[in-house]
Structure 1
Amino acid sequence: MKKILLLFTVTCIACHVFATVKLHNIFQSNMVLQRDMPCTIWGWADKSEKISVTIDNVTYKTKAGKDGSWKIVVPKHDAGGPFSVIVKGSNTIQLDNILYGDIWLCGGQSNMQFRVNEIAVKETDAQRNNNNNIRLFTAGLSTNYVPQDTLSGGQWKICDIKTIQDFSAVGFFFGRHLQENLHIPIGLIADNLGATAVETWMSNDALMTMPQFKDYYDTYLAPGKNFATVRTEFEKIKPEWEKNFYLANDPGLVEKWYDTSTNTSGWKTLQVPGYWNNDELTNFDGAVWMRRTFDLPADYKGNTFNVSLGQLDDYDITWVNGHQVGETLGNFNWRNYSVPVEYLQPKNNVIVVRIFDAGNKGGIYNMFWDPRLAGTWQYRTGAKINAADFTKPLVVNDYVFSSPALLYNGCIAPITNLAIKGVIWYQGEGNASRAEEYKTLFPAMINNWRNKFKQDSLPFLFVQLANYMQEPAMPGNSEWAELREAQAAALQLPNTGMATAIDIGEANDIHPKNKKDVGIRLGLAALKNIYDVDTAYTSPLYESMTVSGDSIIVSFSGNPELKSTDKYGYINGFAIAGKDNVFHWAQAYISNNTVVVYSSAVKSPVAVRYAWADNPGTLNLYSSKGLPVAPFRTDSLPAITAGRLFEYIP
């Protein structure tokens, strides 16, 4: 009887997975719905359940499908509000204080994630920032191999002096500029993460077409399995796999090399981090036991102590003072192990890591986030394998900052049914070493998102990287300059716009604190390129050059009125070259809204570059509206980043 009741209970639960009507978690009170275009509202319920959505006194109806999903497309609506949205099925959901306006998605890496409370000049005008017509949503972060249905979290908030503090600074200043100029509600969705590369924000199918991602795609994305499925399937085979492959024939396990009393007099040394590159280990596959000591910080009071090994290749088991504290499989995964203080002592704690290399490179190769364990380690080889005969199971292998497609699947895919006005994007630092490749990846990502949001001309505005690092003594090549060039090339796509930040960066900080001007410049690009506001303006862009004797005359698109902010009229940042392609610093002056560039070192010039450096230093060439001229070059010399592509190291 108990078995029958249990079976009945489980069956009832299975039949009523949704039980009550549920909305996708982007739909909440205080949100903004996109004006002037049909809006899809969607969620889940019981199979065939009747669903109604009422907004502005009009009701729309549908039925849930066989899988329990449902959606209703609400017709176009003018900007305005507030409204209530009432969703009915077996239960009722009411959303209040809903506005119709424009929704902008704020994507990218750390300079978009950078919060209002981190800016250099704090906002003091609380009344201006208490703006009921701006609504803020920060999406929860999530990764996966397949597109997800819902976001991992997030809450719509009304804009005020408190709620803006933890929101994207660039996003907020952009949205405020739009709202104060357009006088319509603005919804901002911050969906970004620091240190990320562009490919992790692209969908599986977009990457499938690019050869450099083939091996990664075939291994992790092609199977079409989500993280939960991969973990479940691996746990089923793990005991047998460990017995026959992973833990087999290792003297280190038999002799307990992880014990603090182990005699290490015959162990050799190597430097960490880095892939193994000595004669013994370069071609070694199997178990390598590594060991060193570490001290706790003075007067450490915590209950646990975090040991971070960063990333290593491929698998590890880690012990501290003879206690196993962690195990991780997968060479992208980050190793963070929480060690109870009762395992520890103030000084000379012994950490032992059994690193198992299943082919290709091996070692602890990235301690970027926590370098405390960097330096000299002892090592000894254990079980040796033939990598060709080793079974390497599929495991969840996730480096959130650069694993292709994973952030798209977790953070963007869940909201692609949402009607939005456009995207603002601040990213590129993570791809600077592959700037030439970015010329392909960036427009591919833009088109990818347009396809997924089902808006062929979805507006896409972006920030060109700010100046960073030290000024060069002489003209030369620059990865960041090439990345800026790759970004500007995306302007060839329709409905795009660029905010130039070449004058407001900081040499010693990759996260410049002036985000207000960045947001305003993005706002100006939106007003000019998307909203067609006559009074809006953007940075002057290079259009053409002509050679006149020993000078090059540079013209800019739209014939903008140019000015020098130097009191003597000097213009910095230009370099000029002759047929030998050797660039020399140049002098320049404004003439009839063109710039004349020359150098005594170059009698017959053929090419000119402007602001072509990681950090070109103080610039003083602006439009009369106060925006800097965007960096450019007129030559077509090979890029120093040419040929560098995404590389998957299995």
Structure 2
Amino acid sequence: MKRLLLTLAALGTAFTLQAKITLPVLFSDNMVLQQQSDARFWGTASAGKKVTIRPSWSKHPVTTTADREGHWQTTVPTPEAGGPYTIELSDGEALKINNVLIGEVWFCSGQSNMEMPMGGFRNQPVEGATEVIVGAKASTPIRICTVQRATARTPQESCSARWLENTPDAVAASSATAYYFARYLEQRLDIPVGIIVTCWGGTPVEAWMDRPALEAFPEFDLSFLDRNDKINHPSHQPTMLYNAMIAPLIPYTIKGFLWYQGEENRNRPAQYQRLMPAFVEMLRKNWGQGTLPFYYVQIAPYKYGVSDLVGGSALLREAQMRNLDEIPASGMVVTLDIGNKTCIHPARKAQVGQRLAWLALYNDYGIRGFEPNAPVYESMSVEGNRALLTFRTGKSSLAPLGDELAGFEVAGADRVFHPAKAWIDGRKGVLIVSSEEVPTPVAVRYAFRNYAEASLFNTSGIPASSFRTDDWELPVK
């Protein structure tokens, strides 16, 4: 009898817990909601129960009803940026969310260069981070939500994460790239900024894609998803990170996406170029907020075993550059000037976050007077022994004028490349490249190696990507 009573008591407790409103981890104290939006709210409650949401910024509560499985979803209109506010939810029993800010929310994902915390990796610091960490104050309206590592065969409804205030401990553990982006945005716009960070070092893009998106790529065998056997290196397998670390975040209302990844796909540049548009299309479709902006970081130069190997990771950078014309509402940060030959995790993350913020400020917040986009090679003509290159530079122009630019090579019909002199002709608005060894240029390359240093910029200080005018076959490793 005693055992029966204990069992009934346990069942009663479980029933009581099920009757309460439950919310995804993103809905918690310290959260940030996207300003001036119909912010999506969802969760569970008792089947058929009416759920009422009362935000402190509004006199008008929002109500919805849980379906037969207990799931509910609705939207809550948000005001202009501000706070802190509270939100009370009730199905007869109240649940309160405190210290809520209204501002700009950005989703940040990728592999280790997005994951790298402000406190740095072992033996690998982030430049300037100590000053930022020591100066962090909880009163600064930046909030950080970092998703913990996990993998799954099927899309999950929950994950491990929580919103944190802008304290030294929280900042030290946050993604340096994402935090510098948020800090720059908050300082320039003077409004709260929230970053949702979900990343895992050394992972390929296909691990972050869902099954329907990858079914269009027959080279990926997805049959393992239907089995229960052990998976080797699950974080490297298709869909496994999407299922556990992105799916639970959908459809939280956001402003846009930041992405820093590609090193793990560097030996498959042609495939990567096809995967990325499908990846972005998947994100936008699943979030259901239209063509949200997508800003990504081109991988930085690094030795990858042979630093002066022609092609190599430059082919991946080339694929990323081509994606600019293939992905609507996108922008790319070039990092050719801030790479490190001997460390795959460059320390200058502030410049990366700042350049991402420049793209957002220009495209999404209407701030002008500068050019956030890198110069992009457009065409080549030949005059005698000189190659004349034109670039797409927006409202900017090439720089620096008057300097001889390093890193250029030119080849003739024999396809043998020679170091070349390069300089900007400001009158003609072209870049001139020539070598005494090549009487009739056929092709030009710039910084097209695993590791190279930048010499060509625009007048806003944004470096040009490595590029080539030819399409000759090159080694990818």
TM-score normalised according to structure 1 size:
0.68
1:288 aligns with none
Is 1:607 matched up with 2:440?
no
CA distance in 1, matches of 2:4, 2:37: 52
Is 1:34 matched up with 2:34?
yes
1:150 aligns with 158
From the superposition, tell whether residues 456 and 637 of structure 1 become closer, same or farther in structure 2 (CA, over 3 Å): farther
Is 1:594 matched up with 2:430?
yes
Amino acid aligned to 1:54:
R
RMSD: 2.4
User: 8 Å contact 2:307–2:449 — kept in the other structure?
Assistant: no
Q: Aligned to 1:467, what secondary structure does the other structure show?
A: coil
Once the two structures are superposed, what CA deviation does each residue of 1:29-74 show, in whole Å capped at 9, x if it has no partner?
1111011221111111111122111112321111111111111211
2:224 aligns with 219
Shift of 1:6: 7.0
Once the two structures are superposed, what CA deviation does each residue of 1:375-405 show, in whole Å capped at 9, x if it has no partner?
xxxxxxxxxxxxxxxxxxx414152331110
User: 8 Å contact 1:202–1:445 — kept in the other structure?
Assistant: yes
CA distance in 2, matches of 1:76, 1:479: 48
User: 8 Å contact 2:370–2:460 — kept in the other structure?
Assistant: no
User: 8 Å contact 2:107–2:195 — kept in the other structure?
Assistant: yes
CA distance in 2, matches of 1:191, 1:514: 21
Shift of 1:78: 2.1
From the superposition, tell whether residues 470 and 126 of structure 1 become closer, same or farther in structure 2 (CA, over 3 Å): closer
Is 1:438 matched up with 2:272?
yes
2:196 aligns with 189
1:634 aligns with 469
Amino acid aligned to 1:91:
E
CA distance in 1, matches of 2:77, 2:143: 22
2:313 aligns with 480
Q: Aligned to 2:361, what secondary structure does the other structure show?
A: helix
Residue from 471, 492, 515 that aligns with 2:349: 515
Q: Which moved more, 1:21-30 or 1:545-554?
A: 545-554
Shift of 1:176: 1.1
Match runs of 1:203-602 below 5 Å: 203-213=210-220, 216-220=221-225, 223=226, 394-469=228-303, 477-492=310-325, 493-538=327-372, 539-557=374-392, 558=394, 560-564=396-400, 569-592=403-426, 593-602=429-438
1:261 aligns with none
1:160 aligns with 167
CA distance in 1, matches of 2:304, 2:217: 35
Amino acid aligned to 2:314:
A
Is 1:198 matched up with 2:205?
yes
From the superposition, tell whether residues 6 and 28 of structure 1 become closer, same or farther in structure 2 (CA, over 3 Å): closer
Shift of 1:453: 0.8
CA distance in 2, matches of 1:105, 1:534: 24
Shift of 1:25: 1.0
CA distance in 2, matches of 1:559, 1:72: 43
Is 1:134 matched up with 2:142?
yes
User: 8 Å contact 1:497–1:529 — kept in the other structure?
Assistant: no
Q: Which moved more, 1:458-467 or 1:539-548?
A: 539-548
CA distance in 1, matches of 2:368, 2:274: 32
Amino acid aligned to 1:62:
T
1:285 aligns with none
Match runs of 1:71-110 below 5 Å: 71-110=73-112
User: 8 Å contact 2:119–2:130 — kept in the other structure?
Assistant: no
Once the two structures are superposed, what CA deviation does each residue of 1:204-241 show, in whole Å capped at 9, x if it has no partner?
1111121111xx31232xx3xxxxxx6xxxxxxxxxxx
Once the two structures are superposed, what CA deviation does each residue of 1:599-646 show, in whole Å capped at 9, x if it has no partner?
112111122111111111x332222222212221121223544xx9xx
Amino acid aligned to 2:342:
N
Q: Aligned to 2:379, what secondary structure does the other structure show?
A: strand
The structure 1 segments of at least 4 consecutive aligned residues displaced by more than 6 Å after TM superposition are 470-474
CA distance in 1, matches of 2:134, 2:475: 50
Structure 2: runs of 5 or more not aligned: 121-125
TM-score normalised according to structure 2 size:
0.91
* Aligned residue pairs, count: 464
1:22 aligns with 22
Once the two structures are superposed, what CA deviation does each residue of 1:559-607 show, in whole Å capped at 9, x if it has no partner?
6332239xx7120111112223222221101112421011112111122
Q: Aligned to 1:163, what secondary structure does the other structure show?
A: helix
From the superposition, tell whether residues 514 and 580 of structure 1 become closer, same or farther in structure 2 (CA, over 3 Å): same
Q: Which moved more, 1:592-601 or 1:188-197?
A: 592-601
User: 8 Å contact 2:448–2:466 — kept in the other structure?
Assistant: yes
Once the two structures are superposed, what CA deviation does each residue of 1:110-164 show, in whole Å capped at 9, x if it has no partner?
111111112133342679643522111111222111110011x222112133321
Shift of 1:472: 7.3
User: 8 Å contact 1:21–1:90 — kept in the other structure?
Assistant: no
CA distance in 2, matches of 1:49, 1:209: 41
2:123 aligns with none
Shift of 1:509: 0.5
User: 8 Å contact 2:311–2:449 — kept in the other structure?
Assistant: yes
From the superposition, tell whether residues 50 and 525 of structure 1 become closer, same or farther in structure 2 (CA, over 3 Å): same
CA distance in 2, matches of 1:3, 1:563: 81
Shift of 1:473: 8.9
User: 8 Å contact 2:260–2:296 — kept in the other structure?
Assistant: yes
CA distance in 2, matches of 1:596, 1:559: 21
Instruction: Give aligned-pair identity as a percent.
Output: 34
Q: Aligned to 1:22, what secondary structure does the other structure show?
A: coil
User: 8 Å contact 1:435–1:479 — kept in the other structure?
Assistant: no
CA distance in 1, matches of 2:293, 2:381: 34
Amino acid aligned to 2:321:
A
Amino acid aligned to 2:45:
A
User: 8 Å contact 1:576–1:585 — kept in the other structure?
Assistant: yes
From the superposition, tell whether residues 37 and 559 of structure 1 become closer, same or farther in structure 2 (CA, over 3 Å): closer
From the superposition, tell whether residues 125 and 436 of structure 1 become closer, same or farther in structure 2 (CA, over 3 Å): closer
CA distance in 2, matches of 1:64, 1:125: 45
From the superposition, tell whether residues 64 and 471 of structure 1 become closer, same or farther in structure 2 (CA, over 3 Å): closer
From the superposition, tell whether residues 630 and 143 of structure 1 become closer, same or farther in structure 2 (CA, over 3 Å): same
User: 8 Å contact 2:204–2:236 — kept in the other structure?
Assistant: yes
Once the two structures are superposed, what CA deviation does each residue of 1:178-216 show, in whole Å capped at 9, x if it has no partner?
111122211011110111111100001111121111xx3
CA distance in 2, matches of 1:563, 1:167: 35
CA distance in 2, matches of 1:162, 1:402: 30
Shift of 1:170: 0.4
Once the two structures are superposed, what CA deviation does each residue of 1:529-567 show, in whole Å capped at 9, x if it has no partner?
3333212422222222222221111122126332239xx
Shift of 1:412: 0.3
Amino acid aligned to 2:447:
A
Amino acid aligned to 2:149:
L
From the superposition, tell whether residues 13 and 639 of structure 1 become closer, same or farther in structure 2 (CA, over 3 Å): farther
CA distance in 2, matches of 1:203, 1:473: 35
CA distance in 1, matches of 2:404, 2:149: 48
CA distance in 2, matches of 1:145, 1:413: 12
Residue from 110, 113, 117 that aligns with 1:111: 113
CA distance in 2, matches of 1:473, 1:166: 31
